[in-house]
């Protein structure tokens, strides 16, 4: 199939954009003689320029520069107001996107796939309960991958072994650094800072080097963490700097957030602490070194209520027990035997 230009939009959030990676891989497989232009939020551009080398990446704010190009396909994986507006600037022969429907509160959300003027039901986005919560039983990336399969007329390339990944050859670092990521947007999904502090003190006590990265949402807790003796705190890192910090660390402990998705897509060993959100949907990675710890019932509904009062978190002791012993430095045990 001869395709000259394909324009693809992805969501503005880090985690949501990473969930589009299997769909992008599908495009690369099936349109090998094309030119794919990926439109993303400005803060994501440099990250994807490094880790998606086969794709031309542009910021959404610069899209007007490309309005005189005619695209064979405009594939809108973002399906949001900002991406719909791109239709005013660009020329295209075909278009594909999701049309979302908000149902009654008790029924959740549904969507349809739209290709040109044709609509069809989206298999993986029916969280009404009547459909068996299909979306929440499937990886989040299934939504975008299904759209691509409709475009190419083939879904055989989608299988259970797929997962979001960035183009990076992982290697082991000979260090004992454990990186903690207590940040990201969505305060209702955050393991309590007091728990992180207790975990940090234990890891330092065991002899580990412990680094912690805070983002713009955590400005108010920077003094809280910087008062912990022995802890190295990084803040205001760019995504590229964050990715390099993740790559050079030995083990990652995080919660359900954008940096968690980045660490997993880079293939690093990860322990992800989940609270109300569903790991069957959002922790869709394929590594024996990447796992989830949770406590209590996960949310399996299209409508999530009362997250402000969510308290059913794993304890610090439970999280420590879930860390593979090979990642906990043993010098402390050796010193104890010597009576130090």
> Residue 302's pLDDT is what?
41
Which tokens go with 29?
A: 């497989």
Q: Which residue has the higher pLDDT, 40 or 88?
A: 40
| Most trustworthy range by pLDDT among 67-76, 142-151, 196-205 | 196-205
CA pair distance 24, 29, nearest whole angstrom: 9
> Tell me, what's the pLDDT at 128?
40
Task: Tell me the pTM.
Answer: 0.87
The pLDDT, as a whole number, for residue 61 is 87
Secondary structure (DSSP) of 44-101? GHHHHHHH-TTSEEEEGGGGGGGTTSEEEEEEESS-SHHHHGGGGT-EEEEEEEEEEE
Rounded to an integer, what distance in angstroms lies between the CA atom of residue 195 and that of residue 317? 10
At residue 316 the predicted structure's pLDDT band, cuts being 50, 70 and 90, is very high
pLDDT digits (tens, 9 = 90+) for 105-132: 444 456 788 999 898 877 655 444 333 4
**Arithmetic mean of pLDDT over the chain:** 81
pLDDT, position 298:
58
What pLDDT, on a 0 to 100 scale, did the predictor assign at position 297?
A: 61
Which three-class secondary structure string do you get for 298-339? CCCCCCCCCHHHCCCCCCHHHHHHHCCHHHCCCHHHHHHHCC
Question: Pseudo-torsion of CA 291, 273, 47, 268, nearest 10°?
Answer: -30
pLDDT tens digit string along 207-223? 999 999 998 888 889 99
The pLDDT of residue 132 is 41
CATH numbers and ranges of domains, the chain: 6-152 (3.40.50), 177-335 (3.40.50.2000)
């Amino acid at each position: 199939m001869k395709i000259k230009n394909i324009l693809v939009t992805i969501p503005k959030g880090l985690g949501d954009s990473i969930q589009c990676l299997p769909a992008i891989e599908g495009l690369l497989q099936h349109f090998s003689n094309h030119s794919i232009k990926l439109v993303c939020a400005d803060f994501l551009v440099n990250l994807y320029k490094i880790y998606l080398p086969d794709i031309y990446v542009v910021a959404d704010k610069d899209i007007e520069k490309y309005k005189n190009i005619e695209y064979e396909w405009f594939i809108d994986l973002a399906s949001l107001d900002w991406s719909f507006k791109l239709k005013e600037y660009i020329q295209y022969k075909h278009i594909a996107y999701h049309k979302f429907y908000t149902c009654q509160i008790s029924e959740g959300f549904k969507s349809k796939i739209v290709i040109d003027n044709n609509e069809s039901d989206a298999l993986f986005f029916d969280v009404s309960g009547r459909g068996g919560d299909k979306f929440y039983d499937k990886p989040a990336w299934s939504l975008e991958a299904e759209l691509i399969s409709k475009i190419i007329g083939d879904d055989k390339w989608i299988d259970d072994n797929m997962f979001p990944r960035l183009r990076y050859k992982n290697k082991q670092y000979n260090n004992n650094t454990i990186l903690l990521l207590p940040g990201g947007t969505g305060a209702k999904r955050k393991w309590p800072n007091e728990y992180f502090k207790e975990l940090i003190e234990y890891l330092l006590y065991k002899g580990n080097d412990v680094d912690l990265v805070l983002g713009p949402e955590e400005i108010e807790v920077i003094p809280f963490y910087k008062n912990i003796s022995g802890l190295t705190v990084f803040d205001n890192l760019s995504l590229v700097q964050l990715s390099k910090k993740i790559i050079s660390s030995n083990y990652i402990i995080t919660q359900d957030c954008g940096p968690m998705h980045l660490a997993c897509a880079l293939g690093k060993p990860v322990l992800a602490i989940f609270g109300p959100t569903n790991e069957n949907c959002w922790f869709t990675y394929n590594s024996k070194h990447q796992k989830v710890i949770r406590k209590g019932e996960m949310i399996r509904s299209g409508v999530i209520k009362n997250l402000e009062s969510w308290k059913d978190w794993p304890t610090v002791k439970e999280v420590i027990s879930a860390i593979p012993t090979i990642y906990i430095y043993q010098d402390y045990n050796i010193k104890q035997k010597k009576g130090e």
